[in-house]
Amino acid sequence: MRRPVGVAEITADGIRLLVIVSVLVAGIGWGPVQVGIFMLALFGALAPRALRIRPSVDISIGVTMLIAAWSNVFDLYTEIVGWDKIVHAALTGAVTILVVTAAQRGGLLPQTGSPRFALVLSGAAVGLAVGSIWEMLEWAGHTFTDAVIFVGYDDTIGDLAADGVGGLIAGLALSLLPHGGFSRATPATERATEREPAGGAR
């Protein structure tokens, strides 16, 4: 993995370092449940680096992961009306970007520049799928780990609706981007660009 280049990439790596520190702090101050949540946040913050996501989007994803995890620690989801749904939409949108980008790399989803409807629909579907998995994890946490984790029918439906909106927005953004989507150039593309003579002459 190459070293970061430029302010944006260094900032993105700095945010990843903050997530790592947060895992340690959560372990000392709040226990295993919060550590698990921050580990998920760490995975989400590391994924953009592996997928070579654009630095600006990488930073946004990392900040979203941090906000979502620390909001749980300080009970902001219950203290601030509507905060739960806002973070659900933002977090699911971030995860959708990662999942769709990985799926495009693997040839499982159409590339950016394909029919926009397909990309928007894919984003919404991924968002709902990610949200469903999270709601099942919440239920499992409530049932087997800590009854303080809030679950309920109305809350679940509202969360899934917010997840669908987040995935839809991510899919819409992807459909409007030029070829390459949220990704930077791959190493092979960068090397080819460097070898190409100025002006495109051969």
What are the structural domain ranges in the chain?
A: 1-74, 81-185
Distance, C-alpha 13 to centroid of its chain: 15
Q: Is the pTM of this model over 0.75?
A: yes
How many whole angstroms separate alpha carbon 144 and alpha carbon 182? 38
How many whole angstroms separate alpha carbon 16 and alpha carbon 109? 28
Residue 56 has pLDDT above 80, yes or no: yes
Q: What pLDDT score does 112 carry?
A: 65
Query: What percent of the chain clears pLDDT 90, i.e. is strictly above it?
Result: 53
How many whole angstroms separate alpha carbon 21 and alpha carbon 57? 21
153-181 pLDDT, tens digit per residue, is 888 999 999 999 999 999 998 888 765 56
**CB 15, CB 66: distance < 8 Å:** yes
Residue 74 has pLDDT above 90, yes or no: yes
How many whole angstroms separate alpha carbon 42 and alpha carbon 161? 25
- Mean pLDDT calculated for residue range 80-101: 94
**CB 156, CB 88: distance < 8 Å:** no
Distance, C-alpha 78 to centroid of its chain: 22
Q: What pLDDT score does 119 carry?
A: 83
Q: 7-16, 78-87, 116-125: lowest mean pLDDT where? A: 116-125
